[in-house]
Amino acid sequence: MSSTAKRTSSSKENPLGDVLTKKKTTQVAPLFQKNNQSKPPNTIAKSNLLVPYEDASSEGSFFHAESDLGDDDDDDEEDPQLCGAFACEAKKRPAIDYMERVQPNINSTMHAILIDWLVEVAEAFSLSPETLYLAVNCLDRYLSGNVITELNLQLLGVSCIMISAKYYGRGSVRAPPRQVESFCYITDYSYSRNELLEMESCVLNYLKFELTTPTANCFLSRFVPQGKREEEVLSHLLFESLASYLCELSLLDYAMLRYTPLLVAASAVFLARYVLHPSRKPSWSSTLEHYTRYRAEHLEACVKNLLRLCHESPSGDNVVAVRKKYSKAKYKFAANMIYPTSLPQELFL
């Protein structure tokens, strides 16, 4: 790699502008301008900031994520694993307004660019989908209570995916992701081994090493098999790819944090079913209602936002990793499907 690819703190160029024009491959120069004197930020101790593992004392101090569960909450009481997932989901979620309240130096566009790059990293290292989702969860939870500079944002991102790759260990196909040097390499050595390990320590200590949490992909793996039962055999893989594509698109949009992972997964299944069979009535089934605990009316807002993401990027045409990934034959060209511009209201009645 050319040494000219590295950016220093003396550069006068806009680092965000650089990445929008130059980010083409996984092995790229730093996404954001590197500060040679940068250090991982200190954790904000005990404040009025909402953090995922503390009880909020005032409901007015933050927005609640939208859940809108139906009234049939007792349906799954016989399934202790599912009940545990619901409880864990509520505990280990990021604040949905941390960008406005906590982060003066970064914005949702930078957030989308970083996650787009993490999608590329996960593909390059053949990491499991759950590794990517956990990395994004750790990233957002950490940002919910710690101010970070633009210069350290990529360092945080690569630290989170390194933590996740270690956590899932055998979920990765190749050995390199378990080596710190591999993660230094993918940032073009913009960060040293010590910097990466120091940031890793900051993240793990802030999260209190509580990494086990259900993500949208976790719920999707439960809901998709139920939806497959009603699909034609030849469309099984396409249905799964469509739902996965929609869930990954949601990772890019900071505004989607207002929806719980459970709601995102259920909405992705709903929209995937409609895209495959727009004439089928109803689009939602009693089986999926039972397993997701959502009726069609509860999914409307999230489904429409997922559809919006199919037509527009949260950061313009430069955030393309998810679309490129799902434009491959491996995923049945899910990103190239024809998506409707709107949905009939009767779907949600």
Give the tens place of pLDDT for each residue, 267-322.
Answer: 999 999 999 989 887 778 888 999 899 999 999 999 999 999 999 876 666 789 99
Same domain, 102 and 190: yes
pLDDT tops 80 at residue 4: no
Nearest to 132 by CA among 142, 147, 124, 122: 122
Same domain, 228 and 196: no
Same domain, 177 and 288: no
Predicted pLDDT at 120? 95
Q: Residue type for 300, please?
A: E
Same domain, 191 and 244: no
pLDDT 10s digits, 211-242: 988 999 999 988 988 876 666 555 788 999 99
* Counted domains in the chain: 2
Predicted pLDDT at 28? 44
Backbone phi, then psi, for 317, in 5-degree steps? -80, 0
Q: What is the pTM assigned to this prediction? A: 0.77
Predicted pLDDT at 10? 32
Predicted pLDDT at 101? 95
Query: Buried (b) or exposed (e) across 35-69, using 16+ Cβ within 10 A?
Result: eeebebbeeeeeeebbbbeeeeeeeeebeebeeee
Same domain, 221 and 332: yes
pLDDT, average across residues 125-147: 95
pLDDT tops 50 at residue 37: no
Query: Buried (b) or exposed (e) across 263-292, using 16+ Cβ within 10 A?
Result: bbbbbbbbbbbbbbeeeeeebbbeebbebb
Same domain, 19 and 164: yes
Last residue of a domain, one of 206, 231, 264: 206
pLDDT, average across residues 131-153: 96
> Radius of gyration (Cα) for the chain, nearest Å?
20
Boundaries of domain holding 312: 216-348
pLDDT 10s digits, 180-207: 888 999 999 999 999 999 999 999 999 9
- Report residue 60's pLDDT band, with 50, 70 and 90 as the boundaries: very low
Predicted pLDDT at 48? 31
DSSP label at 66? B
Same domain, 124 and 237: no
Predicted pLDDT at 49? 32
Last residue of a domain, one of 149, 172, 206: 206
For residue 21, being part of any structural domain is answered with: yes
